Each structure stands twice: as structure tokens, then as C-alpha cells.
Structure 1
Amino acid sequence: MRHISVVLVLFLAMCQTAPQDQTQEETPTNSDQTMAPTRLIGSVQVLDETLTSLVAPDAQLEVLAEGFDWSEGPVWVSSGGFLLFSDVPTNRIYKWMQDSEFSVFLEPSGYTGTVERGGETGSNGLTLDSEGNLIIAQHGDRRVARLSTSVLEPQPVYETITEQYDGKRYNSPNDLVYRSDGTLYFTDPPYGLEFRMSDPAKELDFQGVYSVSPNGTVQLLESTMSRPNGLAFSPDESTLYVANSDPERAIWMAYDVLPDGRISNGRVFFDATELVEQGLPGLPDGLKVDESGNLFATGPGGVLIISPEGVHLGTINTTQATANCAFGGDGSLLYITADMLLLRIQLLTKGAIL
């Protein structure tokens, strides 16, 4: 009996001192949680209370990466969970991915020639077609091109979608957007030419807005704008918005989109010339439209948020000249290219992801 008691005591003691199970369940973490930003800049300026349903007044504007010459043309690639954007003067496209360092995605990105030339020769606007191919506005090569390889295994090999109109080379295709029927729309200001309007290589005497049908037919839609730049459709594709980055006429135009894809009834949608005259940095440039039809339009002061009725609701003040923006993640994150910076802000609204 005594022997049994000793064994029992030893057994109980061993149970009390045994280590805890090391495989116990840990506190779950949110895999979507973002890292704390290294730096915050800017602010949200509220001009109309409607804005507070689109972006919180105290929303933080994060600096994700910096050190670029002129960041442009962001596009979110859902298949890889990353953002691509151009650095126009350096002839590169960069890739940014959460929890990773940004890296060079493509080089060269906009000028593939071997003869050295001046001007901003890199890629500018970027978008994806319905099959997930990267479509690029190439300043230096003066064309709209398709990346020949997958965005998941990129190589700087391109095929031309269009490079001339009426037998003449484009100025320097700048920004682009697809209509749901597969028609590509793009703008063609002179910014990629070394001497811009007076460049001897300029072959067209206007700055156009064009469309390219799925079968490759090019159509000139607009030739009267002085500096056509960013463009985007309303959610129902009944309206095409086009920015004009001219300090003398810093406006966004709106056009009715006809069933055959042509545009008509051009009118000034919003005029920001007064903001330019106030000394705010930037001009009308890239833009995106959220699911309710509100414009997120880069321009004087940062990203102007304009209602479908043309009311300036407020501005995401980036503190510097701002080139473009894109919805990313689940559509509620706005990525912004602003001069040498890549920025991000959380929205309360969503935009379409390509």
C-alpha cells in the first residue's frame, strides 16, 4: 500500500510539472493588416459634407516609397496582389507589394531605341486589358504597346497596338482606359517630345484623344484640347472625362459616349484654373471614378474629389504636384503617384479593380 502511494505521489508530481503543450492555438492575426507607415504627409480638405462618406477627414496619407523622378500611371494587378507604376524620366516601371521593397519591374519601359535622345522617354499611363495583359503608353517609342510576356514573369518585350494616325506618328501617348467592349481610349499630348510643341520630330499639328477598336481601327475623337491627359469613364460608360493639363485652361471635359464609341457634346465639367492661379502645385492629370460616379482627379493641390454633378467636394492634399491615382486592394485603397512619392490612403468608397 505504501509503495502504491509513493508511485501515485510521484505520478501526480510529474503531471503538475510537465511542460505545457507547445502546439496550443495562438491568437489569430489579421492577414490583411498593413504595416505601420514610416511617414505620413498631407491632409484631407473637406469642402462639402458629402465628402465624409467617401473618405474620413482624418484618414492618413501614407508614404509607401520615395526617391523617384516623376512617378506616374499606377495600376493594381489583382492576379499578383501588387501595384505597378511608371517613373517616366528613368524609363522604368516599378513594382510595389505589401511587406516587400519596391523593385524595378521593367526597364526599358517606354523607349526601346538605341540612339540616345532627350525628353521624358519612359512609360506613362498603364492599364490592363480583359485578359490581364499590361497595356502601356510609351512616351519614347511614341506608341501604345502591349507587354508580350505575363505580368507575373515580365520581360521588356513589347508588341505595338498603335503607333500612328493617318500615316503620322503620335506625339507621345500619355494615358489610357478600356471601355467594356474592348475599345481602348488614349490621349496624346507632346510631353514625351524633347521640345514638346516645337519639337522638329512632331508630326501631328494637334493633341488628340483617340480610340482603338478590338480589330485595330483607330479613330480620332477629339483634336481641339491643348493638353489632353488623364481620362476615365463614368460607371455606366455614358460619359468620358478628359483632363486638360494646361495652366491657362486647367479643366476637365465631359463627353457623351455614343453607342458606336464616338464622343459628342463636349463641355467643361470642372474648371480648376483659379486653383492654379492660387499657386497650388499640379495640373489636371490622371483620374479615376468610384462606383458612385465621383471623380478622384489629380490636379492643383493633390487629388480633387468631384461629384458626378461637378461639385468640388474636397481635396486629398498631397503637398506636391500629383500625377495620377488608382484603386487597389478590394477597391477601397487609393494609390497616388505624386512627384517623387508613392502614396496610399484608405477610402470609405470603392472603385473598380481592373
Structure 2
Amino acid sequence: MTKFKVMTLNDLKLTIPLLFASFITNVSAAADVDQSTKANGAYCAPGSEQVQLDLSNVSLTREQGIPLIYQGMNNIEGPLWHDGALYYSNLGSHQANDQDFVLSNQSTIWRWVPGTKPEVWLDDTVAGTNGLAIDNNGNLVATRQLDGSVVYIDWQTKKVSPIVTRYEDKRFNSPNDLTIADDNTIYFTDPNWNTPSNIDPANTQGGGAPGSQVPGQRIYRVSADGKVNPTLVTELVPALRDKPNGITLSLDQKQLIVGGIAGLWAFELKSGRVSNPKQLLNTPIDGLGKDCSGNIYVTTTRNSPTRTDDQLVVILNKNYDEIGTLTVPEIHIVTNIAFGGEDGRTLYVTGLTAPMDGNKVRQCGNADCLPAGIYRARLNVQGFPY
């Protein structure tokens, strides 16, 4: 005979809160999924997460006719596809002035519609940018080494509006790369290279020389209301205090992925807090990108049969297993990644070159390095525009 328990008032008092808590948790989880899916949907067609990347017969081709504005070193960084054009930062230094002072690490923003000649969109007296991104309201967001800030730049008026400029009453070092979550939270890296030469280091966040793990170079989180705080990235992985650089979010935004001189790590991310770091690569990392299948694209340097410093895009799947590489030929250092084109399936890759290695022309393998430039390849997957 089956026995039934009669529920008492005390049972109800205990059960209802548990049911309510379970309901809230499920609703919250569903809301997170919906929000992330909605944000990804701006760039990814329905079902695109199921598309398998096919790299057979894919190679990067160098674009011709990409002008450079600086003497000596030129660095192309921060590619961003928007409204039919690729925007990017061209970093470098002008010649010495009348007092023999070289103002280093200047930066213009260029706009290039493929098939036409790139044009300067914002000159270096105003731009001073490195990383470029777009938030979920369509705003252009930039990391700006000129004054150590993260800013909005208006698409029409080109007015620069600060989001954050300081932390604990000191300017940031040289904000480098950034990524933006579906709720418009900004995460950015702040190494202490590329700080302009007219800035007193005592007024910046600081950090040590290359190889040092002295605090001062961090990864920051900026909430949608403009409040800035350092993350625990460099506390959990002190090696990332040495020139933190590329940064992105996983497709489901449950991991924050950060690279630097010492390698690449993925951190669990929940409510803006990072934990449980996992090292993915141990080679020097510059830029990161991602596609709609959840693959991560990493610009890095490796030894190869033809070069001791071969420049590669290494591709990791959503489980962070390496699934392929693309070689970036005859370039000094590969820098960054963006997807663009009308269907979001064109991969753009940028690079830099300092043409002289001491008093010799810099070599890339057995040939002189080509100037800084842009490469592209057509893929079978869609990707994100920065």
C-alpha cells in the first residue's frame, strides 16, 4: 500500500523558498543565454555556431597599396570592420623636431573600403589610438595611448568623449586592446609600452621593464556606468604583468581570454570576476579574434623550418584545442585580427615592421621584411568585427 505524506504548513514554508530560488536561478541563466545570443546575433547567422571551420586551401594574401604615415617603424593595429569599411590604427613616430625631440608612439586612424585607396579618418593630433571596438549600441570605442584613456569616438562628428582616463589618481600606462561584453562592460589591457615619450612615467600606473613582474600593468573592467576596477587577472597570473596585450571573450562570454609576452590564458568569468586560470599557449601573444563557431584566433610567434620567429595565426577551437595555423609571410610581427566583408567571412590580419635591426635591414626568413601591412583570407565561417 502506498503511503502519502500530508504536507504541513512548515513543509510549505521550507519548500516555497527553495522552489522560488530554483525559479530565479533558471530565469537568470536563461536571461544570460538570451542576452549573449542576442549580442552574438548582430554578427552571427542562426546556426553559425554549428559550422565547422575548414582551413583546406586557405592562405593569407597581402593587400597591395596600404599606405603608411610614419618614418621607420610602422605598426598597424586594432582592425575593426564597420559599415562596409575596415578601420585601423597606424602607429609610429614622426621625425625629430627642431629641438631633436622625437615624439614616439603617435597613431592615426585610417578608413579603408576594399577596392579603393585607404584614407586617414582621424589624424594623430586627435586619434592616438591602438585598439578599436564597437559596443552593442553601435558606438566606436577605442583605447587611446595618446592620453592613456578609453574613449568613445563619434562616427559622424569624430568627437572624442572619455569613458575612463585614470585609476587611483594616475593615468593609465598605454591602453592597448579591449573587448566588450553583451552588457557593454569593457575589459582592456594596459601595458607600459607605447606610452608616448612626452609622458612622465611617474604619473602612470607603472610596471617593470620587459621580463619584470612588478605590479602596475593590469587588465581593467569598466562597467556600463563608467566605473573602473582592476580585475584579478594579474594577481592570479603574475606572468601577465609583463606586457599584457590581446584580450577577448569566449563566444558564450563565460571565459575571458588574455595574452601577453609570456603566453595565453583563459579565465572563468562570472559577474565580472575572473577565476581558475588555464594556460593555453606559451608563446608571445599580440592580438585575439573569434568566429561564430567559437574558435579563437591568436597572433603569435613560433620557430619554424624557415624562420626562428615565424609569424602565425594559431586557431583554437571552443575547447581551446589547436586546430590549425595560418602563416603571415614576410612580416616582422603579426599584430591583430578582425572579420569583415559583406558576409562577415573575410579574415583581416595586421602586422608591423621596424625596418632596421641595428644597422642592418631586418630579415624575415631569407628576405627583407615587408613594410607593415594588412593580409586577408576568405573563410567558411562568420566572425566578429574586432
Assess same fold via TM > 0.5: yes
> Are 1:269 and 2:280 matched, yes or no?
yes
> Are 1:334 and 2:347 matched, yes or no?
yes
8 Å Cα contact 1:294/1:308 also seen in 2:
yes
> Are 1:99 and 2:115 matched, yes or no?
yes
1:304 corresponds, among 314, 334, 339, to 314
1:135 corresponds, among 138, 141, 152, to 141
Q: Which structure has the bigger radius of gyration? A: 1
1:162 aligned residue? 164
Find the aligned partners of 1:353 and 1:91 in 2 and give their Cα distance: 20
1:81 aligned residue? 84
Give the 3-state SS of the residue equivalent to 1:313 in structure 2.
Answer: strand
Amino acid at match of 1:211: R
Would the alpha carbon gap of residues 207 and 54 (structure 1) be closer, same or farther in structure 2, given more than 3 Å must change?
farther
1:178 corresponds, among 180, 183, 194, to 180
What is the RMSD computed on CA atoms of the aligned residues?
2.3
Amino acid at match of 1:129: D
CA deviation after TM superposition for structure 1 residue 67, in Å: 4.0
> Are 1:242 and 2:234 matched, yes or no?
no
Amino acid at match of 1:144: V
> Are 1:350 and 2:376 matched, yes or no?
no
Give the 3-state SS of the residue equivalent to 2:275 in structure 1.
Answer: strand
CA deviation after TM superposition for structure 1 residue 199, in Å: 3.8
Find the aligned partners of 1:187 and 1:54 in 2 and give their Cα distance: 31
8 Å Cα contact 1:64/1:344 also seen in 2:
no
8 Å Cα contact 1:87/1:122 also seen in 2:
no
1:192 aligned residue? 194
Amino acid at match of 2:252: D
Number of aligned residues: 272
Amino acid at match of 1:180: D
Amino acid at match of 1:256: E
Find the aligned partners of 2:75 and 2:60 in 1 and give their Cα distance: 22
Find the aligned partners of 1:241 and 1:85 in 2 and give their Cα distance: 22
8 Å Cα contact 2:185/2:223 also seen in 1:
yes
CA deviation after TM superposition for structure 1 residue 201, in Å: 4.1
Runs of 4 or more consecutive aligned structure 1 residues displaced over 4 Å after TM superposition: none
Would the alpha carbon gap of residues 62 and 195 (structure 1) be closer, same or farther in structure 2, given more than 3 Å must change?
closer
| Unaligned stretches of 5+ residues in structure 1 | 1-51, 113-120, 273-282
Percent identity of the aligned residues? 30
Residue deviations 1:307-351 (CA, integer Å, cap 9, x gap) = 233333222111221110101122211111112101111112221
